[in-house]
Chains A and B, each alone.
Chain A
Amino acid sequence: MNKYLLSKKLIINELSTFYSFLIGLSIGITIGSIILLTQGQNPIEVFSLMLKLSIGSVKSISSSLNKATPLILAGLGISIINSVKLWNIGAEGQIFMGGIALNFIYISSEISNPNLMIIFLLSSSFIGGAVCILFPAIAKVLFGVNEIITTLLFNYIVIGLTVYLVNGPWKDPGSLNFPAAAYVSKEVYLPTVFGRLSYGFVICILCTLGVHYLKEKSVFGYELRIAGGSALTAIYAGINAKQKAFVAMLIGGGLAGLAGGVELLSQTHRVSTGLSQGFGYTAIIVAAITGMRPFGIFLVGSLFGALTIGGSVIQTMGVSSYISDVIQATTLFGALIAQFFFTYKIIRVSEDV
């Protein structure tokens, strides 16, 4: 009888994550096609329409990149938190909290210079996101409470708070049936670079470079990796692992909050339950699929932004927009399966010996 054993490969191809992603994407598209076929649609027709509407023109490319912006920002935040081996499932709530904090500051302050005001508002959205993760971070660092559950439960709390605000204190009488807060003034809209592309994407590029530097090149990033490794190593190295974890969580939450702020100032222009359409959850896929690499998050986030735009426009064809969620999720599953073959080799041993 033969038995199969696994052995970790000593040398793992540096581009294995990238190849795994490509394999995963083809699996995702295949499964998406099968689902489309079962719904009586022609996959080639649907996908070519999706391509055309997401990257076919300057206008559609800029919409895709705008859509990618919150995914990338929240994904970067998740990757920072993951460098101390912690998970942030609460990006969705932090995005909303960023929007809420921004609107709160917008209502209660007066700055005559619009540019200064934009910077001030975006900073407040960053702080809002950080405040949103503060409680789970304290619970984790002081008492060791599982951060996956607490950050996730905070999503429901913050979204509940949003619903309360837009139906109650912040309700704009002008928006008739759809509960939403009042629009912010045009002066504080984020300007566009060209076409529809918002300056939010520029912020996104800067943050990608910043997070790459922070994680890979800075002393702080090195300390984060040690803190996320063995507890003993951190003690020998004189690193306060808990303090590093705490700071990493606040920065990560803040980036997700900033995603909400940018989305508000560039796209929705007001607080409503439509501020985030599951960006926080998609950002987890984006971050995980790239092995938490900032540049990877930037590329995959852009692609998923295009996929989301494509997914939302094919709704007019009677295809559910959930199809793009399914493609994204199966892409990650496919990538996980492919990753196995890059990291392990299967050895066959004979047991009869």
Chain B
Amino acid sequence: MFDIQLMGLLNATLQAATLLFIAALGELITEKSGILNLGVEGMISIGAVTGFMTAINTGNIFLSVLVGILSASIFSSLHAFVTVILKQDQTVSGLILTILGLSLSALMGKKYVGKKLPVKIESVFNIDEPKNIIEVFLNQNYIFYLSIFLMIFTAYLLKKTMFGRRLEAVGEDSKAADSMGLNVNKTQFIATCVGGGFSGLAGVYLTLSYVPYWTDNMTSGRGWIALALVIFGGWKPYRTAIGALLFGFLEALVPRLQTYGFELSPYLVKITPYAITIIILIGLTIYKGGRTGAPSNIGIPFFRESR
């Protein structure tokens, strides 16, 4: 009995962590280029609703995932246009992207509230009751494995490829990168849209697997936790993954505490992941003494003086 509960907890941890991790990984790529995008919450919503709508109308999972990724990516290009090309304030633009994404997705999804999905992203190996850790891992769906691949791929991309080095150069010192002949605007624009696509994937995972239905504001702050995860992970993919597992564990553990015999108000229990996030952030900042690993140019628009 206890084993089944434990495996259930592990399973829920992996599911919650997958969503947070994919969004955080996308934001990490964006921020590496020196662009801060606070619109994660909005981009996840857009990906979630467009993916859900496609799934309802076509019943094609692959198409739904693709539509979710692309629409969130196109949506994030609005942020890229305003901050990269037009050099406007990244904080303002990102916040508005969140508000716009939440309200736009609510408008689009209005007719889809309460509808049942004809299809769902299935787990790769269908195991009814996982009995050990290996079976829990095998019981996850394709997006979980994709996220592991993306983690390894992104780490490789950032450290070993030209694109990664360019990204880092632009994010650390865009003026120097520019004088080296790199196209700063193009790099930042691409990085922002890639980050949007990742958020879109997280959104699709939310509506097609994690909670297979659609309601307004169903992202419930996960985009903001993803932003905190990037700081937590010190802008490194593997550390971000560890952070995602930790936060996923909290999200999975909290509703289960009562079944383990803890007498707690369910309303107060719901706020603990947010409170713990804040405490971890503070602890981490103190521990690192201000050297958080943030790209030096983050939030500063690149502006080439006319010569």
Residues in chain A within 8 A of chain B (CB atoms):
5-8, 35, 87, 89, 135-136, 139, 143-146, 148-150, 152-154, 156-157, 160-161, 163-164, 167-168, 281, 284-285, 288, 320, 322-323, 325-326, 328-330, 332-333, 336-337, 339-340, 344, 347, 349
Contacts and interface: CB of A to CB of B under 8 A. Distances in A.
A154 B278 contact: yes
Given A6-B303, A145-B285, A160 B270 contact: yes
A68 B104 CA distance: 23
Nearest to A326: B103
Given A284-B99, A329-B103, A336-B93, 20 more contacts: A5-B306, A6-B87, A8-B303, A35-B107, A139-B282, A152-B224, A153-B225, A153-B275, A154-B274, A160-B268, A288-B95, A323-B107, A325-B100, A326-B103, A326-B107, A329-B96, A332-B96, A336-B86, A336-B96, A337-B88
A152 B40 CA distance: 13
Contacts of A332: 92, 96
B277 interface: yes
B267 interface: yes
Given A6-B303, A143-B285, A325-B99, A340 B87 contact: yes
Nearest to B286: A143
Interface residues of B, number: 47
Interface in B262-307: 265, 267-268, 270-271, 274-275, 277-278, 281-282, 285-286, 290, 303-307
Contacts of A143: 282, 285-286
B133 to A, nearest CB: 31
B281 A164 contact: no
A35 B270 CA distance: 35
Q: Which 3 residue pairs are nearest across A and B when measured between Cβ atoms? A: A160-B271, A325-B103, A164-B267
Interface of B: 38, 78, 82, 86-89, 91-93, 95-96, 99-100, 102-104, 106-107, 110, 216, 220-221, 224-225, 227-228, 231, 265, 267-268, 270-271, 274-275, 277-278, 281-282, 285-286, 290, 303-307
Contacts of B88: 336-337, 339-340
Nearest to A146: B231
A129 to B, nearest CB: 18
Contact of B278 (A87, A135, A164): A135
Contacts of A161: 268, 271
A349 B96 CA distance: 34
A6 B270 CA distance: 49
Contact of B82 (A35, A333, A344): A333
A326 B306 contact: no
Given A167-B267, A336-B82, A87 B91 contact: yes
A87 B36 CA distance: 14
Contacts of B225: 153
Contact of A153 (B89, B274, B303): B274
